[in-house]
Amino acid sequence: MPKISVIIPVYKVEEYIEKCLDSVINQTFKDIEILVVNDGSPANEQKIIDKYANKDKRIIPFIKENGGLSDARNYGLDRAKGDYIFFIDSDDSITEDTLEKMYNKALENKFDMVVCDVDCIYPDRNEVVCSLITEDIFDVEGVKKAMIDIYPTAWNKLYKRSLLKKERFKKGVWFEDVEFLYRILPYTKNIGCVKEPFYKYLQRQSGSITSSVDPRIYHYIDNMNGLVEYYKKKKLYDEFLPELEYVYVRYIYATFIKTAARFDKSEYKKAVDMAIENVTKTFPNYRKNKYMKQSKKGIYLKHFNRFIANFVYMAKHKK
């Protein structure tokens, strides 16, 4: 059995996929399987995938009907055989020593998860985003702190396969990484940290303002409400209430609001109203949350209202 299963979902990335595959097959750590899941892409990626699979037998290609990023990742997870799992999006890449260093770190203390820093690749610059976890974590209190600090993506992390068990990505939604990560964190006993920007995250967003509204923007709120219900169902709510409360408020008042500011004024107002309604209903006493004093965003979150939301909108439209 391979030590690591690398899962690569593929959809409309013909321009980028070769760089991604090259970065994986050229890893210094060789004991891997590479599950490349073509999620029904109408482009020519499959020809490229087949070419690489003929050269490297560690590549296992799959073709499935289009079901979205989450469905493609789940498809790979169901077929992965490695002791550890690593996700990489097919328009991104990793340095050649990524898997070797992260795997060696995992073995140091039998870590359930290992995280690395991220190198965001913009057209005109690179910007390193820290994992925000500055040291190894060995207990539940450390995991709780990680819930506040961790960079909330599926990638830039090496997972022990047994940690994921039957957990899968929520299908048919945007922003599935956050929801998935926060479902498995309470079951994570320890986390290793490698402070190197192994993961090369390509920034393809246009950044343009648009009045064309994709209703999936509201998946931010749906996902966070689903996460609250999950914690209650699994009897995790009371133990992780401060962390869950802070994460909920942060992602609705910060990430969701910032994303919604791309749209026209009337849609943005609707998003702000929905954000305030959900936070007020779900966590009415959130301003007393202990993490508000510890976070740089604490003042913004604590005092967020429609007046502040207008400044967020104006700032976005000045760009």
Domain-located, residue 209:
no
pLDDT digits (tens, 9 = 90+) for 70-82: 999 999 999 999 9
- Whether 246 and 198 map to the same domain: the answer is no
**Is residue 124's pLDDT more than 80?**
no
| Helical packing angle, 241-250 and 265-282, nearest 10° | 170
Q: Quote the pLDDT of residue 208.
A: 38
- Whether 138 and 219 map to the same domain: the answer is no
Q: Quote the pLDDT of residue 319.
A: 55
Angle at 190 between CA 184 and CA 192, to 5 degrees: 105
CATH number at residue 82: 3.90.550.10
Domain-located, residue 137:
yes
- Whether 223 and 189 map to the same domain: the answer is no
- Whether 235 and 119 map to the same domain: the answer is no
Domain-located, residue 208:
no
- Whether 100 and 32 map to the same domain: the answer is yes
Most distant CA atoms of the chain, gap in Å: 59
Collapsing DSSP to helix, strand or coil, 59 comes out as strand
DSSP state of 154: S
Q: Residue 93 sits in which domain range?
A: 4-202
pLDDT digits (tens, 9 = 90+) for 180-218: 999 999 999 999 999 999 999 988 764 433 345 678 889
Q: Quote the pLDDT of residue 74.
A: 97
Query: What's the mean pLDDT in 162-177?
Result: 89
- Whether 81 and 116 map to the same domain: the answer is yes
**Domain-terminating residue out of 169, 202, 235:** 202
- Whether 180 and 220 map to the same domain: the answer is no
Query: What's the mean pLDDT in 61-69?
Result: 96
Give the separation between CA 32 and CA 85, rounded to whole angstroms. 10
Are 103 and 53 in contact, with CB atoms under 8 Å apart? no
Which residue type, as a one-letter code, is found at position 1? M
**Is residue 130's pLDDT more than 70?**
no
Give the separation between CA 129 and CA 199, rounded to whole angstroms. 10
**Domain-terminating residue out of 156, 179, 202:** 202
**Domain-terminating residue out of 151, 181, 202:** 202
Q: Name which of 268, 275, 273, 270 is nearest 314 in CA terms.
A: 268
- Whether 278 and 187 map to the same domain: the answer is no
Domain-located, residue 210:
no
Take residue 94 and report the two structure tokens written for it: 């990793």
pLDDT bracket for residue 58 (50, 70, 90): very high
Global confidence as pTM: 0.92
The residue assigned the tokens 């979902």 is 9
Domain-located, residue 207:
no
Count of other CB atoms within 10 angstroms of residue 119: 21
Reduced 3-state DSSP string for 65-108: CCCCHHHHHHHHHHHCCCCEEEECCCCCEECCCHHHHHHHHHHH
- Whether 229 and 198 map to the same domain: the answer is no
Q: What is the distance between the terminal CA atoms of the chain, rounded to a whole angstrom?
A: 51
310 Cβ neighbours under 8 A, 6+ residues apart: none
- Whether 180 and 31 map to the same domain: the answer is yes
Q: Name which of 247, 131, 258, 269 is nearest 198 in CA terms.
A: 131
Query: What's the mean pLDDT in 97-112?
Result: 97
- Whether 260 and 164 map to the same domain: the answer is no
Collapsing DSSP to helix, strand or coil, 224 comes out as helix
- Whether 275 and 253 map to the same domain: the answer is yes
Number of domains present in the structure of the chain:
2
H helix intervals, 191-305: 219-233, 241-250, 257-260, 265-282, 298-302
